[in-house]
Amino acid sequence: MAKITLSHLKHSYEPQPKGPEDYALQEIDLDWQDGGAYALLGPSGCGKSTLLNIISGLLIPSEGKILFDDRDVTAMSPDQRNIAQVFQFPVIYDTMTVYDNLAFPLRNRGVEETAVNKRVSEIAAMLEVEDILNRRASGLSPDNKQKISMGRGLVRDDVNVVMFDEPLTVIDPHLKWKLRSKLKELHHRVNATMIYVTHDQTEALTFADRVVVMDEGQVVQIGTPVELFERPEHTFVGHFIGSPGMNIIPCMIEGGAAKFMGQIIDLEGPIKSGVSTNCEIGIRPEFISFGESSLRGTVKKVSDIGRHKVVEVMLGDHKVAGIIEDIAPEKGDNIGVIFQKNQTRVYRDGWLVTEKAD
């Protein structure tokens, strides 16, 4: 396994890119640590596949370098890079048995049969497919086929990285969580560097120790699931992660204070210096409550979503959502809205600019 470094990486599909809008990947500098479980998360079109193809060697970046353990592999073919990939759709040989499918990547590298047998048995045990090893792959259910496909990705222990590209797309929703937790468990056992590409926050947050969030060709934050939830560094992360996402409302900055609807809003900490007309307050619905407050609004909607209720309140022209577990106000009520101070942040041009309270 290897540490993977992306250094000043940029990519445009245009032969002669002019401005940033011509780049599918803006400048990316990133280290993927050896043995880490990473998710690459972002909406459709943000550049995930482009980045994956650059790491695997299917695409040569317009600018920048890829290093595996500080060795420049930018000009190397996918084969030379020694990578395992698991795709959206299972890649297995239908006419072979499950055993032969799992053994294939090892036999292909000339591994001798005793070692093949040992490793296939280990992987089969981890995936809990020992009882179907002698079955032909053609008769397997889609989730078993994808399990075998994952097994083929994990069977070699000499690869630099295992990359999963939306591997649960074809899996029934009720089986997804099973395979997802299986993959997490496998990471702990094989200790490989893994990159899991998805647009689904649940998949990313349950699989990965660290999540790389992308938007419009940029990495907007790298963090643990808790960090992404607690302190989004960009409004995109706040909005994309969470259900509902972070409330983002415009504000004015005057004399170091943030004002919304003419009132000073208490913040987690001081605002870093800088100038912009595009300033916003971000606060997650989990940290909004209702009661005595000079910030008043009208309840627009109350949704009961099981364990808790989501209350949407109009503050002037701006809607904010709060999550509450006890008795909710009713539609049309005029209520006070309280922002939990240590969770109230300011973003300038999308980027977090409040300092963390001690």
Ligand X SMILES: Nc1ncnc2c1ncn2[C@@H]1O[C@H](COP(=O)(O)OP(=O)(O)OP(=O)(O)O)[C@@H](O)[C@H]1O
Contact footprint for ligand X (CB under 6 A): 13, 24, 42, 44-50, 199
Least distance to ligand X, CB of residue 171, Å: 17
The H helix count followed by the E strand count for the chain is 9, 22
Output the DSSP codes for 243-260. Answer: SS--EEEE-EEETTEEEE
CA distance linking residue 294 with residue 297, whole number of Å: 10
Kind plus residue range of the DSSP H or E element containing 5: strand 4-11
Tell me if 63 sits within 8 A of 237, measured CB to CB.
Answer: no
CA distance linking residue 293 with residue 263, whole number of Å: 11
Decide whether 46 or 183 has the Cβ nearer to ligand X: 46
Residue 304: which residues within 8 A CB-CB, separation 6 or more?
328
Least distance to ligand X, CB of residue 41, Å: 10
Decide whether 240 or 347 has the Cβ nearer to ligand X: 240
* CA dihedral over 99, 103, 108, 114, signed as positive or negative: negative
Decide whether 6 or 46 has the Cβ nearer to ligand X: 46
Decide whether 44 or 114 has the Cβ nearer to ligand X: 44
How far from chain centre, in Å, is Cα 164?
A: 12
Decide whether 51 or 106 has the Cβ nearer to ligand X: 51
Least distance to ligand X, CB of residue 13, Å: 3
Output the six-digit token pair for 13.
């599909």
Residue 55: which residues within 8 A CB-CB, separation 6 or more?
4, 6, 66, 83, 161, 163, 195
Helix boundaries (H) for 15-77: 48-56
Least distance to ligand X, CB of residue 60, Å: 13
CA distance linking residue 276 with residue 235, whole number of Å: 15
Looking at the chain, how many residues does it have?
358
Least distance to ligand X, CB of residue 46, Å: 4
Tell me if 326 sits within 8 A of 334, measured CB to CB.
Answer: no
Least distance to ligand X, CB of residue 47, Å: 4
Decide whether 155 or 212 has the Cβ nearer to ligand X: 212
Least distance to ligand X, CB of residue 54, Å: 10
Decide whether 87 or 351 has the Cβ nearer to ligand X: 87
Least distance to ligand X, CB of residue 170, Å: 15
Give the position of tokens 């504000």.
251
Decide whether 184 or 199 has the Cβ nearer to ligand X: 199
Output the DSSP codes for 299-329. Answer: EEEEEE-SSSEEEEEEETTEEEEEEESS---
